[in-house]
Amino acid sequence: VQLQASGGGLVQAGESLRLSCVASGFSLEHYSIGWFRQAPGNEREWVSCIRSGGDEPYYIDSVKGRFAISKDTATNSMYLQMNSLKVDDTAVYYCAAAPHSWWCHPLIATRIATTDYGTDYWGKGTLVTVSS
């Protein structure tokens, strides 16, 4: 049972990347999903999530309008499309999943990011480096 993230790399500011995260051993269909990131010297922070019921996604303010989260139950995968990347987006990105709809909400995102609260699965990170 695991989440496997991929798609990171080195890009220039303004370019795009698409992160993927494949689930194995369980189905993402009834899970809330999210992406988090940790920049060098910083705590892990929440980036985006979608509730298990497929409601509108949430995003941290700094990525609104540039990032898009999605889930594909046919491939049991989740994605993070990242456009107009900035140097400040440089970080290791992690995917995560939880069997609770309440898990996806900005009000508890910090608690989840720093304590794994309510989270069943974390993927190993994929490094995104954005150069100026």
Nearest alpha-carbon partner for 77 in 61, 92, 101, 95: 95
Backbone Cα Rg of the chain: 13
CB neighbourhood size of 55 (10 A): 11
Query: Tell me: the pLDDT tens digits for 69-106?
Result: 999 999 999 999 999 999 999 999 999 999 999 999 99
Predicted confidence at residue 111, as pLDDT, reads 86
Predicted confidence at residue 109, as pLDDT, reads 86
Predicted confidence (pLDDT) at residue 56 exceeds the cutoff of 90: no
Query: Tell me: the pLDDT tens digits for 16-47?
Result: 999 999 999 999 999 999 999 999 999 999 99
